[in-house]
Each structure stands twice: as C-alpha cells, then as structure tokens.
Structure 1
Amino acid sequence: MPNNTLQVLMSTYNGEVYIEEQLNSIFEQSHAAIKVLIRDDGSKDNTVAIVRQYMIQYPEHIELIEGDNVGVVRSFWILMQHADRKVGYFCFCDQDDVWIQDKTSRAIQKMSELEWSKQGSEQVPVMICTATQLTNEQLEPTAIWPGPLAKEPSFYNALIQNIAVGATMCFNRRTLELVLDNGIDIELNHVQMHDWWIYLIVSALGNVYFDPSPSIFYRQHSNNAVGGEATIAEKMRKKWRSYRKHKNQKLLVKQAMEFKRIYGDCIINMDMLVQLDAFIAPRRSWIERFRYLRICRLYRQSLPENLLFRFLIMNGYI
C-alpha cells in the first residue's frame, strides 16, 4: 500500500505578492507528511527568490524546477512528470490561494476509503475535489463556489463540464500512473485543462468524490488564470466571451476524441462507450442533432446549463 505522504504540485508565475501566504498555509496543514514540488513558469519578479528562501527554511520538503513560460496546462503536466512516484497522494496548487488547515487530512482520509477494490487487492484511480470559499484580494469571503452539485460527478458530466477546481484537487498514485503511463503520446493542445482531463479519466476508470465543504480560500484578483464566478451576471459574461472566442472550434469534441484515442480500449462500461461515440460523431444537420439529443445522457449541473448545452448542440457549436 502507498504511504500517506502527499506531494503538492505547484505552478508559479509572477506570484511574489501572494505566494508566501500560500506556502505558509501548506506547511501549517494538520497532515504533516507533505512535500512540495514547484515549477516556475518563467517568472520575471521575485517569485523564485522567495521560493529559494523557503527551501532554506524547509530543506527536506521543497524542490524547485525553473522553466520557460509554457502556460498553465503544460506547466502542470511537467510537474506530474517530475512527481515523486514513491509518495501515495498528490495535490495541485495555485500560487495565490490559502489552504484551509484540514484540506490535506480530509482529502487523504477520503481517498484512502475509495482507492481500493471491494476485494482490497487492487488499487483504483481516485480523485477528490471540493467547493471553494471565494474571497477578494484581502481574503475577505464573498461566496462559496461551486455550490452543491445537482447530480453526482460522473463520466456523463465530465465529457461536457468540469466540476473539478484544480486548486482543490487531490488524487492518488494510481491516477498519476494512469495519466502518464499509458504508452501513448498525448496532444496537450486538445486538453482543455489539466484538472478537467483528470476528472474525465477518473470518472470513466475510477472513483470521483466531490466535497461541498470548501478546502481553500480562492482569492479572486485581476491576474487569475482561471477564476470562479460569484454572480450570475459574471457567469453569463464569461460564457458569452468564451462562445465568441471558441465558435466553430469544437473544443469539447476534440478533447473527447483525444480521450477515446488514449483510453477507449480501457473502458469496460459499454454505455459509456456508446455515449462517447455518439458525442464525437459528426452532426451535419438539424435532424442529426435532434436525434442525438434524444439518446444523449450527458448532463451539466443545473437546468440553465443543460438548456444551454442543448442549444449549443442544436446550433452546431458542439
């Protein structure tokens, strides 16, 4: 069985303003067996210098990779490739949040409950994610996001919606092996986000758990790479910008096709395969789109989101 050490995978970029608060919250966790692997994505400020000071303070617990600016998805992918395969668990981490003190102990307890087959002899992929406590730049609470899920996390959700906030995600060693050791080179350009990709994989081949109790203070500021939406108006503006930017690109279909190319042979649930094939099949006319919706079992986590999905299918966006 894997040990209970957890490795934090943190990507940094020009994070000098907030990174000390984040690192302090990591080393103040109630679960003490923590290692931190940081990859700096080409910062131009004092981020690396701050990290080096923490390496002096915690010499056995922090490693640093200095790299070029490759963006969020590739930076976290490199972190996974350099992760310590001897530890039992992993967490993604942003540079500007603050972890609630029991984040890691809660995660490890739940993962240890879910990661073994009923016979107890085979380790299965498992990941957990949680809600976040949104805050302003001064860490003053504003809202909890996302709210309670309408339906359970599943493959039928993961194909078209990501409910996994990467900064809250934890996963076990078997998940890391499944992501990296499949023998097929991945096209990262077809992956929407690293957290979404893992949700998609584990929802099909393992166990996913969503905890509605926040595990981080999710700081919202002007430099967020990805952020929560505290109001309906913010959510609608974000979706409209995304719609205009990505129209005709079929990004969700491309991600699903990449998933099938790599993991299609691993899926033993025939209904999952049927729904996957139906989702990625071309729909060239209104009649084909209407017929698809009649058999579609995919869902998002609210009625407005599901209506939007059906609209995007019918107008050919998806």
Structure 2
Amino acid sequence: MNSEISILLASYNGERYIEQQLLSLIGQTYKEWQLYVRDDGSKDETVTIVRRYEKMDNRIHLVTDEQGSLGCIGNFLALLPYSKTAYTIFCDQDDFWLENKLEVLWKTMKRRRQDVPQLVYCNAYSYNMEDGVGQPEIAYAIQSLPDMLFRCGGVQGCSSLFNDKLKKLVLQYHGVTIMHDFTVTFLAVLFGEITFIDKPLMLYRQHECNVTGIRPKSLLQIALNFWKDNKRKGILNCKTFETMKQITACFCDQISNENLKLLDDFFEFPNLSRLQMLNFVLKNHCTLYRKTYPILLKILTRKLWDNHTTFL
C-alpha cells in the first residue's frame, strides 16, 4: 500500500528527546507514512540517532541539502517540498505522539471533501519531566477569519494534518511569517475548512527550550498572565500583522470579496481610535479563545504594538 501521510520533522540539538519521538512514530497504529527529518546543524548526537533509526526503518529518511542553518521556521518549510503524499503533518522533535494520533487524524480527514484546502487538528496533553502528564491543553476551535485576526499564532503544526490543496498554497508563499504553522492556519481559514478534534492525541513537552514557550495550564493562569504582561505586550503583534498583510497581498486575487473587505478594514486598525477599535471588534464578531472580551480588554489596557512573538 502506498503511503498517504508525510511526517516532516525539523531537528536541532534534540538528542535528549528525539529518540522517544521516533519510537512514538514507529508505534503508530496507522502505518502508511513516510518520515522526513532535516537537521539544522545540531552539535550533539541528534543526527547519529536519526541515522540509526533510518537504517532500522525504511520509512525514515534523513534529508541533506546545501542550505545550511535556516532556523526553526526555515527548517520546517525546507521539508515541505519532500512531501509527495496526499496529506502532510509537521512533527516536533521533543513531543510524544499517542499511538492512535495519525489514525484519528487520517480517518477524520478522509471524511472531508478534498477539492478544497483541509486542516484537521487535535488537542494535546501538557507534559514535563517534573510533573509528568498534565491536563489537556486549552485549545480552541478556529473556524473563520474573525477567529484569527487577533491571534499571534496559528494551530500548532504538530497537531495538524493538512491536505495537498493546502500544501500547494503554502508552497506558493515566500514572504515573511511569524511561524510556519501560522501560515498554514491562515491559508486554511482564507480558502478552506478547519476541523478541530477536541481529544488529546499527543504529549506536548514543556521545557525552557520550546519555540512556543511554556503554555498556560488553566483559564486562571491565562488571566493572570494577561494582567502581568499588560505593560510589555500590545494589542497586535508586529510580525503577525505583517505576515497577514503579505499573505493577503500574495493571494489577493483569490480571496473572497467578504474576507478581502474584512482584511482591508483590519489593516487600518492601527489608525483607529480606541473607541473605533472596540466597534471594529464587536461589529465583526472577532474572538480570542472563542470570546470577544479578551480583545476588548487588550484594547482598553494595552499599547498598540507588541514586538514579542508570544502566543497570548
């Protein structure tokens, strides 16, 4: 049987975690996959570990090229052309997938129409060495453009399976991006459909080296972090805003009139008064964590721009 899923793993100095992740992939109940690993110049034994497993399993491939160190985003995006299958999923080196993760994502994806871009994603358990497996992550369904405008990040890439239609759109875009998975999510919102499986299918390892950082564990912690960060964070993130502007410019002739009008209005948001900002959010039913009030609170209590790439 031909493989239907390409798993893209970007590695860098991951010797502490990557073997556990590789074992969790090999142990998946869904077996028809190919794994492509690109290392970004590790100084530890990461590559040695991957090569050992490459010899053991012919579905595992270590990618080599002349591009050098590309950073996290570039490393993942450099892997995307290697996916020749119907579906693609990104993979972090330090997570651990529950054995039915691919099967559940794949079965859900197969029930969706494939003539439009599709993104299917799941929830995750938080995990760290001190506390072990914690509660499910606080994940919220993203269904439309108003759900995306005030987010700093997209759907977590390693939780998301996307089809060939969506992959081709991502490959067309060569502009700035805050993160590779934001680009995937934003394009899915603009042109396709997103399905959220509210079931934890992986362990999201939390440690000081995470690219996305330690995630809040509860709504109370989110609230406390919100007030604590008011002085250093803004209503909008500069790089997220620029990413949306460049993606919109790249695909402007393909975006629906309704979405294009909303985006054009949103790009004028920095020029609005605070009262006009509040009106924009309410008029367009914008949400953050499925609620409108977090955005309203930001408008009332924060400066305009946030130069940090944090995810609240």
Contact 1:275/1:297 (<8 A) preserved: no
1:166-202: CA deviations, max 9, x gaps?
221111111111111x3xx6222xx111111111101
2:264 is aligned to: 277
Contact 1:134/1:220 (<8 A) preserved: yes
2:133 is aligned to: 141
Which blocks of at least 5 consecutive residues in structure 1 are unaligned? 117-122
Contact 2:236/2:305 (<8 A) preserved: yes
1:201-245: CA deviations, max 9, x gaps?
011101111111011111112221114222443775488569727
Q: Note closer, same or farther for the CA distance 1:245–1:89 as it changes in structure 2 (3 Å cut).
A: same
1:212 and 2:224 correspond:
no
Cα distance in 1 between the residues matched to 2:226 and 2:23: 32
Cα distance in 2 between the residues matched to 1:238 and 1:6: 38
**Greater alpha carbon shift after TM alignment, 152-161 vs 302-311:** 302-311
1:178 and 2:208 correspond:
no
Contact 2:51/2:62 (<8 A) preserved: no
1:296 and 2:284 correspond:
yes
Aligned partner of 2:117 among 118, 121, 125: 125
The one-letter amino acid paired with 1:51 is: V
Cα shift at 1:18: 1.0
1:271-290: CA deviations, max 9, x gaps?
22221111112415445535
- The 3-state SS of whatever aligns with 1:225 is coil
Cα shift at 1:251: 2.9
Contact 1:115/1:207 (<8 A) preserved: no
1:23 is aligned to: 22
1:223 and 2:225 correspond:
no
- The 3-state SS of whatever aligns with 2:259 is helix
- The 3-state SS of whatever aligns with 1:215 is strand
**Greater alpha carbon shift after TM alignment, 232-241 vs 191-200:** 232-241
Cα distance in 1 between the residues matched to 2:228 and 2:70: 26
Cα shift at 1:139: 7.8
1:31-65: CA deviations, max 9, x gaps?
11111001111111000010010111113432333
Q: Note closer, same or farther for the CA distance 1:139–1:153 as it changes in structure 2 (3 Å cut).
A: farther
Higher strand share: 2
Task: Indicate the percent of aligned positions where both proteins have the same amino acid.
Answer: 25
- The 3-state SS of whatever aligns with 2:253 is helix
**Greater alpha carbon shift after TM alignment, 283-292 vs 93-102:** 283-292
Contact 1:159/1:252 (<8 A) preserved: no
1:58 is aligned to: 57
Contact 1:4/1:89 (<8 A) preserved: no
Residue correspondence of structure 1 range 13-92 to structure 2 within 5 A = 13-65=12-64, 68-80=68-80, 82-85=81-84, 87-92=85-90
1:261-314: CA deviations, max 9, x gaps?
11221122x3222211111124154455355345333211244533344437x8
Give the number of aligned pairs. 299
Contact 1:283/1:316 (<8 A) preserved: no
1:267 is aligned to: 255
- The 3-state SS of whatever aligns with 2:55 is helix
Aligned partner of 1:201 among 187, 195, 205: 187
2:92 is aligned to: 94
Cα distance in 2 between the residues matched to 1:261 and 1:20: 41
Cα distance in 2 between the residues matched to 1:96 and 1:206: 30
- The 3-state SS of whatever aligns with 1:114 is coil
Cα distance in 2 between the residues matched to 1:239 and 1:11: 34
Aligned partner of 2:144 among 132, 154, 159: 154
1:120 is aligned to: none
